[in-house]
Amino acid sequence: MRIRYTHEAIHDLEQLREFIEVKNPVAAQRVAREILLGIEKLKVFFNLCLQVMMAPQPELVRDLFIGNYTVRYMITKDELLILRLWHDKEIEKDL
C-alpha cells in the first residue's frame, strides 16, 4: 500500500516541527521521526485505526493516534492518503 500526503498534511508536519524546534531541536526531530514511523506502519495495519464517524464514508476515513498526535487519513483502492495531523491540544482539523 502506497502512502501519499496532502499539501495540508505536509504543512501540518512542517509547522509542528518548527513549533517544537524553537524550544527543543532534538525533540522536534524525535517527534517528527515518531510520527513518520507510525504512518509507515499503516501500510500493514491501515484498517485497525479508529473510524471518523462524522466523515461522509467513515469506513474510509480513520484516525491514527501517535502519542499526543492524531493523523487523519483516507483509505483508497491503491493508497493511503494522509489528510491532516495535529497535536491533541489543537482544535481538530477539518476534513
Query: How many whole angstroms separate alpha carbon 35 and alpha carbon 24?
Result: 17
In a domain, 92, yes or no: no
Tell me which residue range forms the domain holding 12: 2-87
**What is the amino acid identity at position 24?**
N
> Residue 93 — very low, low, confident or very high, per pLDDT cuts 50/70/90?
low
Query: How many whole angstroms separate alpha carbon 52 and alpha carbon 49?
Result: 9
- Which set of grid coordinates corresponds to residue 52? 471518523
Task: Give the pLDDT of residue 58.
Answer: 94
In a domain, 30, yes or no: yes
pLDDT beyond 90 at 40: yes
Mean pLDDT of the chain: 92
In a domain, 24, yes or no: yes
Contact 63, 49 (CB under 8 A): yes
Distances (CA, A) of 25 to 1, 17, 19, 87: 32, 9, 10, 17
Full-model pTM? 0.90
Domain count within the chain: 1
- Which set of grid coordinates corresponds to residue 63? 484516525
